[in-house]
Chains A and B, each alone.
Chain A
């Protein structure tokens, strides 16, 4: 039977399956049929798990038929970014150094999804080791934006964004270290949530920047986003940086009215929107929030302009440490041109890492080296404190902050791939939340030049429910989430 995947959400799919409108097997079959038809153009996936998914679908249908209660994500097809470990399945980080690596274990978030009944349908493409803002750094080719196949879906979680945007799944997981979930969500008309640092376990994520990495959630509606958050949040013994506070049932807490809610508009974030039409869409979105009862207030975050520099010292420094494990010894590729142990390291890493990974490793090695550590890494950690304190102080006067996600709509492929620094500057609105470990959500907020525009909502630590509530009320008053790209 033909299922209308483009208008389906997790909520409506669970409803349809419990009412037997269609079976899980129908749903999973439709998903793979659509992938077969369109992923040749979109290139969202590096690995597809059709056989395993169909088996799971049949099991799911048996469970439902036998009257077992529906689990929170029963039978829901989910795609997983390839920096997240999946047991028995290739996990490459979009890098040739892990091209044939089959992970022996599941990330905690993958286990949680499976325990909730979700069906993992495949691994998605991304910038190599999550280094990038366009997915063009993937060693296996770039993914394309389903809204315009000549444009980038964003990065680094571009494949996860493209997969959901093209309706190849009903949700996807990414990661967000410097905007890698929020920015692709903004460019693809999706919700992209960066949770509070420590809200969701990082166990099983291929580490990039340990002090800022978070798993990221892509979904089509605020409700779906909140549902996934409820399922995958929580303390984890295997990740000592997870916060002990119990996860909330977020999806039941997002219907509050916005009357009296204070939304801060940091003026520094509205100075750099290079595209006028994007700026108009954002202004209209903010006006709509006021109509819904929120009060807006101009605030200031004077150190915003330094966030990128802090990020691009801390990130490569921690990357240089985290990528040290890729040495051709215990897992991954090993160069066969090495004639001694030292060359096993240097040739394996030289041959199999891509250029951006190597650049970041080198910048980090330099910034952490004796004589430079104080001037670079330590200085960056201090400015990080300044930026964190600044945003937390402002959040004492308001409930959430609203900003653009990106200075412009999705870039054309190839537009910035020759200039690494120019690609770094894409992160301009993303890094503030990262510095302070605050939750931030990208919500569909309109279109400019026929391409999606995202609104960012940043909240206080562990206050995901407020930013999701704002997004939810905005969603009910608009119809952006009903639009989908025609492939």
Chain B
């Protein structure tokens, strides 16, 4: 599991994560991330055969509530958070 990431791999991961990186960042992060991935690979030492995963520790499941509908009334407050808006619409670059 221990790995040294290449620049190509770092660029590919960055694209998946929608992060534009400078060349400097690609180089710096590839070394730092490789060191971290190398460290965490020590988990290979632990025997986890037949061990279930932990997704959360509360022991709760299927916590539900009534689907009540009520008027929110503060739509403008949310639209105001957007960097660009037009009336009650958030404005973005064209999708297609």
Contacts and interface: CB of A to CB of B under 8 A. Distances in A.
A interface majority secondary structure? helix
B46 A375 contact: no
A420 B66 CA distance: 45
Given A363-B37, A437-B57, A329 B48 contact: no
A337 to B, nearest CB: 9
Chain B, interface SS category: loop
A205 to B, nearest CB: 16
A271 interface: no
A378 B13 contact: no
Contacts of B43: 306, 309-310, 313, 379-380, 383
Given A362-B29, A366-B37, A241 B58 contact: yes
B69 interface: no
B18 A424 contact: no
Contact of A361 (B5, B19, B58): B19
Contacts of B80: 104
A237 interface: yes
Contacts of A340: 93-94
Given A306-B46, A329-B90, A362-B14, A211 B55 contact: yes
Interface residues of A, number: 69
A420 B32 contact: yes
A344 B92 contact: yes
Contact of A198 (B18, B28, B60, B74): B60
Interface of B: 1, 5, 9-10, 13-21, 25, 28-29, 32-33, 35-37, 39-46, 48, 51-58, 60, 63, 65, 74, 77-78, 80-84, 90, 92-95
Instruction: List the 10 closest pairs (A to B, CB-CB), nearest first.
Output: A437-B57, A350-B20, A381-B53, A334-B83, A382-B48, A346-B20, A331-B81, A345-B18, A309-B40, A240-B63
Given A334-B84, A386-B48, 16 more contacts: A104-B78, A104-B80, A197-B57, A198-B58, A324-B18, A329-B90, A330-B82, A331-B81, A344-B93, A349-B20, A353-B19, A362-B19, A366-B37, A380-B43, A382-B46, A386-B46
